[in-house]
Amino acid sequence: MNASTHPPATSPIKTLLAPWTGILSLRRACAHLRHARTLDVIGSAILLGLIWCALAFTTVLFMFGIEERVINGERNVLIRPIGDVFHNWKHEGITGTGGIVALVCFLVFVAGLITTSITQFPAIHRAGHIARSLSQALRSVLACGGLIVLLSASFGFFLVVTQHEIIITQPDEPPLSMAFLVLTGGLSWCIIILRISAANIQLRDAHNLALPDRCESCGYDLSHTPHDARCQECGQPASESVGDNTIRLGWPWQEKTTIRHWLHATFLVLFRPTRFYSRLHMRRDDEHHALFGRLHLIAMSSSAMLWMLLLLAKDDIESPWERFLIVGLVTLLVPIFGGLTHRAVALATTVVLLLSKRIADFRWAWIVMCYELPYLWLFCATTGSFITLGTMDSALFRNVVDATNRYLPTINNDPAGNLFMWVQLIVGLIWWRRMYKGVMAVRFNNA
Ligand SMILES: [Zn+2]
C-alpha cells in the first residue's frame, strides 16, 4: 500500500462508540473502524465486553433468584430479588459463586469474540500479513457488536422466563417460552452472520492489498507486463488473463441468477468440478458465489423443515406448539450448524494453503469455498439419517433429544454415537480434500 494513501486515523471516541453506531448504520460503523488505531479498536472491544458481561451477569442473577424449596414436604417456589442474590454473592467473596459466574461470563465473551473473528478469516484473507486480515476480522465483528449485545439481551430475557416456567410449573413437556428461546437464538445467529458478512464487504477495500494481475496459465505476476504482450514465463498472451477478454468464459449462473442456472452450477460443482472451476469467472468482484452458498443453506433449512414435518406426521403429539418448537428448532439448527461446519472446513483449508505456501494469493480461495457448499448436503444427510433411525418409535421429542445425545460418545459410550462421529469425520475429510483441490484447480487455468 502506498504511504500517501494513508488516511487520518478516526477519533478514539468514534472508534469506542462504533459498535453502537453499527446498530443504526453499519456503513458508518465500518467507516469509523476502518482506519482506527489498533489500541482504540482494543478499547472498543473492552467496552463492549464489559457491557456484555454486565448483562450476562444480571441474567444469571435473575436465574439464581428463582429457587425451589421443599418446606415440610411441600414444594415452594421462591423468587428472590436480584439484590438479595447479589448481596449473598458479595459475602462469598471473589472465589464464591459470584466470582465464578463473572469469570465464566468473561471467558464466554472472549472465546466468542476470538472464535467469531477467526471464522471470518477465510472470507477476508486475500494476501499479505495474516495479522492484517485478523485485525480486519475483529473490526468486522466489532461493527456488529452493539447488535450482538442487543440480541443477547433478548435471548437472556427468554432464558430467565424459560427457567422460571420450568421451575414453577415443572412441566412434563418443554414450556412455551422455550419456543421463543429457540426462535430468538436461531434468528439472532442468522442476523448476526449476515451482518458480519456485510461488514466484511464494507471493510474489505481498506485492508486488502491491491493484488497483482496473474497469468491464467502459470500464475506469473503480470503487473509489469503490458496487456498486449505475452507472459514472460509461459508465453500466453497477457490479454487472455487480464481485462475483460479473459479465457475464462464463465457460467450462465454468473450472468443470470435463476434457479435453473443455480441447479446447473450445483450439478457441475458436484460432478464436474475441474471443468466448472477452469471456466468460472474469477476476476469480477460480484457476490454470485456468496448468493450461491446462501441459497444452498436456505434450501437445506427448508428441506430439514419438510423432513421434520414428515417425521412428525406419524407421531401423536398433542400440543401444537411443541410441534412448532421441534420444526422451528430443526429449521434453524440446520443452517447454523451447516454454516459453522462450512467455516471450520474452510478455515482448515486456508491454514493448510497458508502453511504449504502453494498459492501466492487467496483472492480466489474464498470463491471456491462458497461454491463447495453443496457438499454440505452429504453432511446433513448423514446427520438426518442417524436422527431418523433414532426416532423410529413414537414420543418423538424425547427421541430426537436422545438420538442427538447418543452422538456425543464422550457423554456415553454408545456404538451408534461412535459410528456417527466416524462417518461425519470421513465426510468432512473428503470435503476438505475437495475444497483444497478446487482452490488448486482455479489457481491457474490448466484446462
Ligand atoms: Zn504464464
Name the band, by pLDDT with cuts 50, 70 and 90, for residue 8. Answer: low
Q: How far away, in angstroms, is 237 Cα from ligand 1 center?
A: 8
Distances (CA, A) of 196 to 35, 113, 147, 204, 418: 18, 12, 10, 12, 35
The domain ranges of the chain are: 7-207, 246-443
Residue 6 has a pLDDT of: 57
DSSP string over 338-395: HHHHHHHHHHHHHHHHHHHT--S--TTHHHHHHHTGGGHHHHHHHHHHHHHHHT-SS-
Cell 464494507, located at residue: 202
Q: How far away, in angstroms, is 41 Cα from ligand 1 center?
A: 42
Q: How far away, in angstroms, is 243 Cα from ligand 1 center?
A: 15
- Comparing CA positions, the residue from 72, 82, 194, 86 lying closest to residue 143 is 194
Query: In this model, does residue 349 exceed pLDDT 90?
Result: yes
Q: How far away, in angstroms, is 216 Cα from ligand 1 center?
A: 7
Cell 475429510, located at residue: 429
Q: How far away, in angstroms, is 222 Cα from ligand 1 center?
A: 8
Q: How far away, in angstroms, is 221 Cα from ligand 1 center?
A: 8
pLDDT by residue (tens digit) across 271-286?
998 888 888 877 666 7
Average pLDDT for 23-48:
93
Q: How far away, in angstroms, is 232 Cα from ligand 1 center?
A: 7
Q: How far away, in angstroms, is 436 Cα from ligand 1 center?
A: 22
Supply the DSSP symbol for 165.
H
Query: In this model, does residue 323 exceed pLDDT 90?
Result: no
Q: How far away, in angstroms, is 227 Cα from ligand 1 center?
A: 13
Q: Measured in whole angstroms, how far is the alpha carbon of residue 7 from the centre of its chain?
A: 31
Query: In this model, does residue 115 exceed pLDDT 90?
Result: yes
pLDDT by residue (tens digit) across 222-242?
888 888 889 888 888 888 777
Q: Any alpha helices (H) in 170-231, and if so which ranges? A: 176-207
Residue 370 has a pLDDT of: 92
Q: How far away, in angstroms, is 301 Cα from ligand 1 center?
A: 43
Residue 69 has a pLDDT of: 73
Q: Which amino acid is at 345?
A: V
